[in-house]
Each structure stands twice: as C-alpha cells, then as structure tokens.
Amino acid sequence: MPKQEGAPAAQPRGRDPRSRPAPDKAPPSGKRPSTLIIGSEVQPFAKTGGLADVLGALPPALDRLGWDATVALPRYRGVTAGALVDAFPVTVGGYTRDAGFFETPLAGHARALLVDCPDLYDREALYGVDAGDYPDNPRRYAFLARAALEFAARRGTVPSIVHAHDWQAGLAPVYLRTLYAAHPMLGGMPSVLTIHNLAYQGVFAADWLPALDLGWELFTIDRLEYWGRISFLKGGVLEADFITTVSPRYAEEIQTPELGFGFDGILRSRRADLRGILNGIDTREWDPPHDPFLPAPFDVKDLSGKRDAKIALLKRYGLAADTGAPARPLVGIVSRMIDQKGFDLIAALVDDLPRLDASFVVLGTGEARYQDLWKALAARYPDRIGAHIGFDESLAHLIEGGADIFLMPSRFEPCGLNQMYSMRYGTVPVVHAVGGLADTVHDYGLAAPGPGNGGPGDSRATGFVFHEYSPAAMLGALTRALTLFADGRRWHALQVAGMQQDFSWDRSAREYVKIYERAIGQRAAKADATSKGKGDK
C-alpha cells in the first residue's frame, strides 16, 4: 500500500508571466448551470504536475460549453492574483480562522477562487518539505473544501454540482452527504470525484475524524475507514454521485489488484458510476506556432523552426551543438523522478543508454537516487547527456519543441500529458502501454502486425509502444525509434501524424458535462420521488 499522502513537494509559482486571452468581464449569468471545482493545484497559480494543467484548462473549456465554472484552490505562498471578494471565519473541528476569498478571471466567465488562510497555506511548499508531508494536511484540505462550499452557500446562487479532484478534495462529497445534508443551500447537491492518481489516497490516523467535524459512525469499512485509518479518497469515492478518472484504460486498470493500489474492490463496488474521460491539453499554452518559449515558431506545414529549438536546447544544456551534433537524435524527458514514471527501468539501463547513437536531455525533480543517477550520467558524458534537476516551465516547453523523441516509460500512468504535448510538437513519444499512454499513442509497428499495432507504417501510428514493463522492452522500443529516425521520410510522416491528433479540451469537457447532467438529473429525480412520498432510497 502506498504511503504517500500528498504529491511530492514543489514550490508554488505565482501568476504566469505570459499573457492569457483577455478575460471576459461580463458577470456570470444566473441562468447558466454552474460547477464548483475544488482541487489543490491549478495553472497558472500552483503546479507540481498534470493536475494543475487540467484544472487550469477545464474551467474555460466548460465555460465554452455554456457552464459557469469556478475552480477553488488554496492561495499558497507567492500567489498574488485575485481581488478580495469575501472574508469570513471558517471552522473545521473547532479550528477557526478568517478565510479570505480572492477571485480572478480565467478565460470567458470561468474564474479561480483562491482561498486565503496564511496559517494553513503560506508555506514553503504545497504539500510538504523533504522531511515529509505537512502533518496538518488533513486540516489544510478539509478547510479548503469547507471554505469553498460555504463561500458558495453565502452567494445565494449555489452551484448545480461540485466537482472534487483527488484526495485533497475527497471530503467535499463527504461533507455534502453528512454535515451539509440538511443545509438549506447545500443539501442534496450532487458531486463528482475525479481521480488523477490512485497512488495518493489521503490516508491519515482515525483520530483526525472529530478534528474534521466527522462522526465516528463514518469509521466503518463502507465509509472512510481504510486499514484502521481513514482515507479522504475512499470517502470521496463512496460518497460522490459519479467517479471519473483521466483515461478509459486507467478506469479499467484501477479495478484490478495490479493497479488498484488496494482500492480495486472499492472501485468495483462503484463500477456502474465510474467513467474514464481522457484529459485534453491546453492547446493555447502548448502551441508550437505561438509558444513564447521557442526560439522560432513551427507548425505541421513547416517544421524548420523545430531545428532551431533543437539547437537552442542543446546549447541550453551545454551539449555539442555544432557540426554533426544536431543530426543525432535527441531524446527528451520531463518528469517527476519517481518509480511511477519508469525511472527504475532507466536505472537498469545506465550502461546501455549511453551506447546508443543519441543525445539525452532530462528535466525533473524527485527521488535523490534518480536525480543523482542523471547528474552522474551528465558528468560522464558531457557532450551528449544533459540533466537539469528542478522545475522549469520554460525549459519543459523547449524540450517538447527541441527533442526528436520523448521518453515516457511509466510503470502506470493515469493519463499523462507530456506524450500529448510531444505529439503536438512533432516529438515522437516512446511509451509503456499503460493507462492514458496506451489510449493516446499508437505504435509504429513491429515487423508483423500484432495487438495494438498495425504493422510498419500503420497510418494511425504516432509513436513507439512497449508492452512488457522491462528494461529490455523499453530499450527495444527506443532502438526502434532511433532506427526509424534515420529514415527521414517515414520519420516525418510519423511526426505529422502526431501533430494532427486532436487532444483539445472541448471533447473531454463535453464528457464531463454529460456526467454532470446525469448526476443532476438523478438527484432531481430522487428529490421528486421523495416529495411525492415515494421515499429516497
């Protein structure tokens, strides 16, 4: 069972300096259906991983579909965005603090609601420091859910639905069914929980219950109890009207013991209400013709700017960039450096990777052993291997733009965004056939067609996929990619196929709207039945 309670620590970032589309100043219309989205990180305010990308892009996509979307997150240290729109005391289990509510527009009517409480959120990192997760994380995220819900109630026009993300918001559906069940504004409100990564379950000591305003009657196997402790995620899974996860394949995988992280039984018990909705990508933030982090724009018709990006990238890493160097294939990695992301496979190949006729550039933070491994490789092969340990949004864009191949050998991957960014930038992904990677990358094909591939030159092909999670299989896929790279015409066709994929948010947002509407419809039908005296069971 995984021990992590939150995601790895990282510095919150302030407002992204790049300009976003001008926000629409018009006030939200009261007639539009509305969603209150709750989560722990949102671009451009705070990010450690893909959750932030998703929560930054989903509200504007819902707005385009006619939904009024607000995303609530903590106002972490360094975030200065937003205008104060309300302030009132929030109490969680006897802990009372004044909360400030800062609103800032995203695109269209969509907005972020930054919950300010310096005692809880003005900290060095989002979730914890090297010594471990912040011990009061249960209170920090319970407070977020409570503050967001109570803010909505005070507005008078409550949202049509609450959409909670990951364990940090897992108590929102629980509070709606317990503490607020009879609340005049919040009672009966439907909720959806989205699981971005089942490895993080928000597991804490059971004696947190009273400090969270939750009764001991919830300490049972069919509520929050999880191996003698409580799990925020389990609470959310069992109390939300619908559960979604971020790819169809992952929705299946998490119902199996292999990838269910101890939750497979719980999820199977709710399979009728569980859906996989593939994430979209923010096609304005990640757009090679308009990417301010690239030295020159490029697009599917003219890839010449990609060569400029490659040279800039090689130089940025201090790798050889003259004479024949730019002709050598360049493999990029942008990743949290943890086992989930396949770094154990990479570690098993430390002697093999440098023997390939390729250069490598790596960007990431994570476990010390993996950081050290890449630093050592870079020191040993300074002209061909570059490692940057840190979090750097602009460098992530330059890698997507300048690399030829993107390596993402994740052991498991709920969705994964970087393989989609890669395809959009003409950078061919090499991935393990799991979760969202399997759903988004089509294999170029082995000598003979087989499951998941249509043979060499398959017109659907967009990358290289390996099935067995082993160093040899990963090396095999990477070698196939390097071999094809030498065939300029075929390689170009593969790049173009990737660049033509549609991973825009609109399709995914439509799926969320369908789920919202079902949840709202079900609740309305139940309320109707109750009012007609037919009972609510």
Q: Which residues bind ligand ADP (CB under 6 A)?
A: 49-51, 53, 334-336, 363-365, 391-393, 396, 415-418
In angstroms, what CA-CA distances link 148 with 38, 79, 99, 182, 359?
Answer: 8, 18, 10, 18, 47
Cβ closest to ligand GLC, residue 164 vs residue 353: 164
Chain residue at closest Cβ approach to ligand ADP: 50
Residue matched to tokens 């939904």: 67
Residues 225 and 187: their CA atoms lie apart, in Å, by 24
| 364: contact with ligand GLC by CB under 6 A | no
CB atoms within 10 A of CB 458: 16
Of 91, 93, 89, 90, the closest CA to residue 212 belongs to 93
- Whichever of 41 and 68 has its CB closer to ligand ADP, that residue is 41
Tell me the C-alpha distance between 397 and 384, whole Å. Answer: 20
Cβ neighbors of 251 (< 8 A, separation 6 or more) are 244, 245, 274, 275, 276
The least CB distance from residue 461 to ligand GLC, in Å, is 22
Residue 197, phi then psi, degrees to nearest 5: -160, 110
Stretch that binds ligand GLC, among 29-37, 46-54, 144-152, 486-494 (CB under 6 A): 46-54
Phi, psi of 355 (to 5 degrees): -80, -15
Residue 355 DSSP one-character state: G
Shortest approach of ligand GLC to residue 54 CB, angstroms?
5
The binder of ligand GLC chosen from 12, 39, 44, 50 (CB under 6 A):
50
Residue closer to ligand GLC, measured from CB, 160 or 197 = 197
Pairing of strands 225-226, 191-195: unpaired
Write down the least CB distance from residue 354 to ligand ADP, Å. Answer: 22
246 contributes a contact to ligand GLC by CB under 6 A: yes
335 binds, among ligand GLC, ligand ADP, none (CB under 5 to 8 A by kind): ligand ADP
CA–CA separation, 129 vs 520, rounded Å? 40
- Measured from the CB of residue 537, what is the shortest distance to ligand ADP in angstroms? 39
Asked if residue 319 binds ligand GLC (CB under 6 A), the reply is no
List the single partner that 392 binds among ligand GLC, ligand ADP, none, CB under 5 to 8 Å by kind.
ligand ADP
If one asks whether residue 49 binds ligand GLC (CB under 6 A), the answer comes out as yes
Rule CB under 6 A: choose which of 178, 197, 359, 462 binds ligand GLC.
Answer: 197
Q: How many of the chain's residues bind ligand GLC (CB under 6 A)? A: 14
Q: Between 246 and 441, whose beta carbon lies closer to ligand GLC?
A: 246
Query: Between helices 505-531 and 50-64, what is the axis angle to 10°?
Result: 70
Q: And the tokens for 416?
A: 């994964």
Binding positions for ligand GLC, rule: CB under 6 A: 49-51, 54, 196-197, 246, 279, 413-417, 436
